[in-house]
Structure 1
Amino acid sequence: MKYTNVTEGEFVVRNNRFTAEVLIGGVQETVHVKNTGRMKELLFPGARVTLTCSDNPNRKTKYDLISVYKESLGWVNIDSQAPNKVVGEWLAGRDYTFIKPEYKYGDSRLDFYMEKQDEKYLMEVKGCTLEIDGIGYFPDAPSERAVRHLHELMHAVKQGYHCILAFVIAMPGVMVVRPNMTTHPAFGQALSEAMAAGVEVWYLPCEITADSIQIKGRKRKYYTVQDGLYPHMVIQ
């Protein structure tokens, strides 16, 4: 996935969940933040950022903030729409015979439904942008929606679906994701229960540049008795 009309800027301050102030060519602009997560470890005054420029004259903001440069990692993609797009591109290159995004299941709309001959798959995609000591953590803000999706996947396993929670790791060099027990312990508990019920967890590491993101591989996480320790993990 490659962006167009990309420019670089200097982050100034976040106004709210949806907008921020960025210096672009020495001029301060109000820009749209394409991620409602906290990202306090990324979005701080002086941080290098990249943005896309919209050609829609009716928009309230001219620019979308898409990535941030973290000295210890490199470029981190914070576009919350990117994970589903890159997974869609990646799935299209694999051996599924049918792929449908935004699939209605139960009380939720899951990200992908796939088929491979007679086998049926459901996948929920989560983007990870929080890194501590080389490990990714999710979520960076409480997410009841993510917990609900895990329960939907657990139910689907009982109905014969192959169910997958896929973490798109939008940071270079980070290979695994753990539940953020400090921010949302209920997600960690639900993740352990889901894995024990047969939901697969995929880690999808990415190659990130200032204007692109691409999945570079897949690692699978399988349930072990150690996963029962997740509810007791705390990020210091």
Structure 2
Amino acid sequence: MKINIEGNKIEGIFHKRRNRFIAEVFIDDKLEIAHVANTGRMKELLTSGAKVILRKVNEAHRKTQYDLLMVHKDATLISIDSRLPNQLLQQAFMHKSIPYFKQYSDIRREVNFGKSKLDFYISDQKESVLVEAKCVTLVKENKLASFPDAPTDRGRKHILELIEGKKQGFRSAVFFIVQRDDADKFTPNKEMDEAFYEAALLGKKAGVEFYAYNCNVTTHSIALKEEIEVFFN
């Protein structure tokens, strides 16, 4: 199962990031601006001269004519669209392709819980589950994926909500979707955001479940590849 990446894809060369949502890229030696659908820093990926994949968008209301979809890092193609993990998980839940979550048939997106909006509420007749999905693009040495690549108070709050969900009788889970194929293990990024790491550690002790998957990425599609180990330093 895979998600097709639709549209007219073209190659470009990354120049710089103006802000969280706008990047400058060279397309056929002409400087253009592109939308970045990811608020992470991605400093190790979005470097001047990096080869990128963009989608041409012809919509009158858009400020940019391009979406920045992917970036090449050495021999690896990385998807940077942070909207895709939710789509991948929804597909996996619907097709019952994640072994630990096959029993749930009611799947709802973007549900309010506490003071947050969580990505999924899934359930069967016996049990209800709160699920958060996180987009991972950072892979360190030794094929180690890690999240976040920038401090995320929002991410910390989500885990605290999942801990509260456990207290209220829900099953709670976090999925880290590594949008590249070169990672074989995952850990929360303590060096980047110790508060997030400590919240994740509290969550683990409270019974929140943590899962990570890497992905097969091509210029035309993305798909979950395999589950990888999650550990805490």
Structure-2-length-normalised TM-score? 0.91
Structure 1 counterpart SS, 2:44 = coil
1:118-138 CA-partner distances (Å, limit 9, x unpaired)? 111110000111111110111
Aligned equivalents of 1:78 and 1:135: distance in 2? 17
Are residue 69 (structure 1) and residue 80 (structure 2) matched?
no
Note the alpha carbon deviations across 1:29-64, whole angstroms, 9 max, x for none. 111111111111101111110111112122110001
Query: Could you tell me which of 14, 19, 24 is aligned with 2:22?
Result: 19
Equivalent residue number for residue 39 of structure 1: 42
Match of 1:79, SS? coil
Which whole-Å CA distance do the structure 1 matches of 2:91 and 2:30 have between them? 36
Instruction: Check whether the contact 2:186–2:229 (CA below 8 A) recurs between aligned residues.
Output: no
Unaligned runs of 5+ in 2: 97-101
* Structure 1 spans left out of the alignment, 5+ residues: 231-236
Deviation of 1:168 (Å)? 0.4
Match of 1:92 in 2: 94
Q: CA deviation at 1:16?
A: 1.5
Superposition deviation, residue 148 in structure 1: 0.5
Q: How many residues align?
A: 223
Alignment equivalent of 2:139, drawn from 106, 109, 131: 131
- Quote the Cα distance in structure 1 between the aligned partners of 2:9 and 2:92: 23
Name the amino acid aligned to 2:130. Answer: L
From 139, 163, 169, the counterpart of 1:160: 169
Change (3 A) 1:144 1:169: same
Contact 1:123 1:165 in 2 (8 A): yes
Instruction: Identify the residue that residue 202 of structure 2 maps to in structure 1.
Output: 193
What does 1:74-223 align with in structure 2 at a 5 Å threshold?
74-94=76-96, 95=102, 96-133=104-141, 134-219=143-228, 221=230
SS at 2:90's partner residue? helix
Instruction: Give the corresponding residue for 1:233.
Output: none
Q: Does structure 1 retain, via aligned residues, the 8 Å contact 2:184–2:229?
A: no
User: Could you tell me whether the CA contact under 8 Å between 1:11 and 1:49 is conserved in 2?
Assistant: yes
Match of 1:54 in 2: 57
| Contact 2:185–2:229, Cα closer than 8 Å, also in 1 | no
Superimposed CA distance per residue, residues 186-227 of structure 1 (whole angstroms, 9 cap, x where no aligned partner): 1111111100100000112111112321112334648xxxx4
Return the offset for 1:86. Answer: 1.3
Shift of 1:26: 2.6
CA contact (8 A) 2:23 2:33 kept: yes
Q: Which amino acid aligns with 1:15?
A: R
- For residues 125 and 184 of structure 2, the distance between their equivalents in structure 1, rounded to whole angstroms, comes to 30
TM-score relative to the length of structure 1: 0.90
Contact 2:181 2:225 in 1 (8 A): no
